[in-house]
Chains A and B, each alone.
Chain A
């Protein structure tokens, strides 16, 4: 029982979940408006695109890689989505399929450079961050395509009947289940952690590191594009600068969620809780008349805390373990 309790409360997932509950309850008590259903509608609308990208990003970071081009993939998708409409493509399902294929292709380019040529993903995706955003401006320039049918744009943000929560959250939930199963209940998922800890050993163990990572980049591209489609419809505006800087929000959520930037550690529950926590905190503070400059400082501090926090927790746990082991020399545990 104590062992179990320690595992639950000692994990960073639990820390983030508890923080989310505390912020929500404290916000609802202290700030007028946080308890209202409309507040949660706005938080969900903001969180949806971030959650969509953060899920595959979690897997990527667990393998020890990163993809910083996600917001540019989103922007380029928005541009292409606008141009498709200008060219007279009027079938929304077709547009969605084409956009997701585009995202997969852009992700494949990242994946090819990283796994095919063995280049560091940080360098590659900083490059494609600029490249894809540049292409977005080539496609759409400083125009905005905004004459989508009203039906499309209202359906995209329509609430689940009898609630204020947008229905798209169900899509996010379904995808979360898929990503969760892959990461936490399949050999592929175990392989991802292994790669993050020691890619060389994983390769010798017979897991194709390259192929797996390649497909992770493809998935990240496709999900970023899906987020782009939602972004365009939600704001009823396809623009080349859509989602500018969003990659940092996504990475912040992934790290705050307890995923180690060095790979090998973290989980989907923590990341999704972190997405919700960041959105709730920001909106609640905004309602409490906290100015934008202060908000930026708060988000920055949280990010620092997220990098320091999980490390501090594991350090603390290791020290506890050592103390329990008594005067015996420190066990050579992997972590």
Chain B
């Protein structure tokens, strides 16, 4: 009863919003109470808006709170973007990374009338039902970092392609080892991790190119994303291959453990290390010369782009179909690709020059 009354009221406001949007070109600057309704109206009615509506409620839902990676993507990048388009930013989420806890937060956000939910999924499918309920209640869903099934979100912001990740790591190890090349090895996570294996396959393809002819991949070992196991595997690699010139570890746990081993051994500076790591974990090894450069995406940019994509969706500027174009503030123009995904760009390279400016 109460709900249906509210619904009638909302529809009435929406209709009004549609009428006014038809008259005035610039419908931004409306009061907070009606922006939501007019945003809904313009996306439904297809009014030709050109800027992101003011007053949108944008909520970031990370895999878990208290995590430096999401603290950077949400509270640095996402917040900056939302403030730029004059929305209301919030970050909420469970203290443990479980899909069921995330569902409860999605339900809450949906009841709070959130216009955009930017979420990194703890499970591809488990949060789908809740997301679709939230969409039915009027929210736009943008996934980042970790996607859901495409049927339950409007856009996915992809941090980097597998191809891009493979290419940058081969380039970095080649630069670090030098023109003479030599033996290299890979320290991976688990033997059956889908993304790791996809990257390793693409790295092998990349190594087959003539410019990398002097690099020879001699071994791939698995540290199971466990710090101690990765440490021992790094140790084992050097014992087994005395001529080893470089290690690639495409996992943040592996590269940190290998860095710790190398920096405390006589191989420091002689055996090169690169891969995917976070600046906080790798800062010491970059400064002491164990690691020249490593790669990852910039999570602040990722959150920033996700917020703008959500704003554009909720303002009816884009619908999420392939070929849709939108502008994401300082990052420039983006185009929606296949399966409603937006690519952030090439991975970001961290080295001694920029590592102090990044904290995650």
Contacts and interface: CB of A to CB of B under 8 A. Distances in A.
Interface of A: 32-33, 35-39, 42, 46, 141-142, 144, 146, 153, 157, 231, 234-237, 239, 241-245, 282-283, 286-287, 289, 291-293, 295-296
Interface residues of B, number: 31
15 contacts: A33-B111, A33-B112, A141-B192, A144-B123, A144-B125, A157-B129, A235-B100, A235-B103, A235-B125, A237-B125, A244-B98, A245-B98, A286-B105, A287-B112, A289-B92
A146 B125 contact: yes
Task: Among B2, B123, B190, find the residue whose CB has the most chain A CB atoms closer than 10 A.
Answer: B123
Given A38-B107, A296-B95, 17 more contacts: A33-B112, A35-B2, A37-B3, A38-B3, A39-B111, A146-B124, A146-B149, A235-B103, A235-B123, A235-B126, A235-B127, A239-B99, A242-B100, A286-B108, A289-B90, A293-B65, A293-B95
B75 to A, nearest CB: 13
Given A146-B125, A286-B108, A287-B111, A292 B94 contact: yes
Contact of A283 (B3, B104, B123): B104
Contact of B93 (A142, A243, A292, A296): A292
A245 B99 CA distance: 13
Contacts of B105: 286
B66 interface: yes
B129 to A, nearest CB: 6
A101 B129 CA distance: 28
Contacts of B93: 292
A278 B128 CA distance: 25
B96 interface: yes
A292 B123 contact: no
Task: Among A38, A42, A241, find the residue whose CB has the most chain B CB atoms closer than 10 A.
Answer: A42
Contacts of A287: 108, 111-112
Contacts of A32: 112
Interface string B158-182: 0000000000000000000000000
A296 B96 CA distance: 11
A239 B104 contact: no
Given A39-B111, A289-B90, A245 B125 contact: no
A46 B108 CA distance: 13
B2 A36 contact: yes
B265 to A, nearest CB: 32
Task: Among B104, B108, B149, find the residue whose CB has the most chain A CB atoms closer than 10 A.
Answer: B108
A275 to B, nearest CB: 15
Nearest to B111: A33
A242 B66 CA distance: 22
A239 B126 CA distance: 9
Contacts of B192: 141-142
Interface string B65-97: 110000000000000000000000010111110
Given A33-B112, A291-B65, A236 B128 contact: yes
Contact of B129 (A144, A235, A243): A235
Interface string B10-40: 0000000000000000000000000000000
Contacts of A36: 2-3, 111
B65 A153 contact: no
Contact of B65 (A33, A141, A146, A292): A292
Contacts of A293: 65-66, 95
A23 B96 CA distance: 25
Interface in B281-300: none
A96 B149 CA distance: 26
A237 B104 contact: no
Nearest to B65: A292
Contacts of B108: 42, 283, 286-287
A165 B309 CA distance: 35
Nearest to A46: B104
Contacts of B99: 235, 237, 239
A105 B129 CA distance: 32
Contacts of A231: 100
Contacts of A153: 129
Contacts of A33: 111-112
B225 to A, nearest CB: 11
Task: Among B3, B105, B126, find the residue whose CB has the most chain A CB atoms closer than 10 A.
Answer: B126
A241 B94 CA distance: 16
Contacts of B124: 144, 146, 237
Interface in B169-203: 190, 192
Contacts of B95: 292-293, 295-296
Nearest to B137: A38
